């Protein structure tokens, strides 16, 4: 039987079980830990808390990272780079070149390969 998620839970037991994101967020709120971010980020904060008792702050993405997305004038000759993002601008461009264009599951899987 799965134990309750409490501050007395061992790190080993925490890592041994599956927890819903909502459960993790609730635990964080009860213990003064930030509940924002992805499930992995929240789990990492809880692991630090269970191991050391310390409350770690979420890692904030800097403006430099946010601005990394370059605005490029797209053309049929534009080279798709490794850091390419499927933004709304890119989708709109593809629709002007390919009238019935839409991203498919295959295309997303290929893109993420």
Q: What is the pLDDT of residue 11?
A: 95
Enter the tokens of residue 16. Answer: 């041994």
Q: What is the pLDDT of residue 63?
A: 53
48, 59 in Cβ contact below 8 A? no
Q: Counting beta carbons within 10 angstroms of the beta carbon of residue 47, is it exposed (0 to 12), middle (13 to 18) or buried (19 or more)?
A: middle
Q: Counting beta carbons within 10 angstroms of the beta carbon of residue 65, is it exposed (0 to 12), middle (13 to 18) or buried (19 or more)?
A: exposed
97 pLDDT band, cuts 50/70/90, is confident
| Entry field: residues in the chain | 113
14, 51 in Cβ contact below 8 A? no
Residue pLDDT, tens place only, 51-94 = 999 998 887 766 555 555 556 678 888 887 777 677 777 778 88
């Amino acid at each position: 039987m799965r134990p309750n998620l409490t501050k007395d839970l061992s790190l080993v037991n925490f890592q041994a079980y599956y927890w819903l994101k909502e459960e993790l967020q609730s635990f964080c709120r009860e213990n003064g830990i930030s509940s924002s971010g992805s499930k992995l980020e929240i789990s990492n904060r809880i692991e630090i808390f269970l191991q050391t008792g310390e409350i770690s702050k979420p890692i904030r993405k800097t403006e430099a990272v946010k601005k990394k997305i370059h605005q490029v004038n797209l053309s049929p000759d534009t080279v798709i780079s490794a850091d390419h993002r499927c933004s709304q601008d890119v989708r709109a461009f593809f629709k002007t070149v390919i009238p019935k264009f839409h991203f498919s599951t295959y295309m997303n899987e290929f893109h993420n390969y």
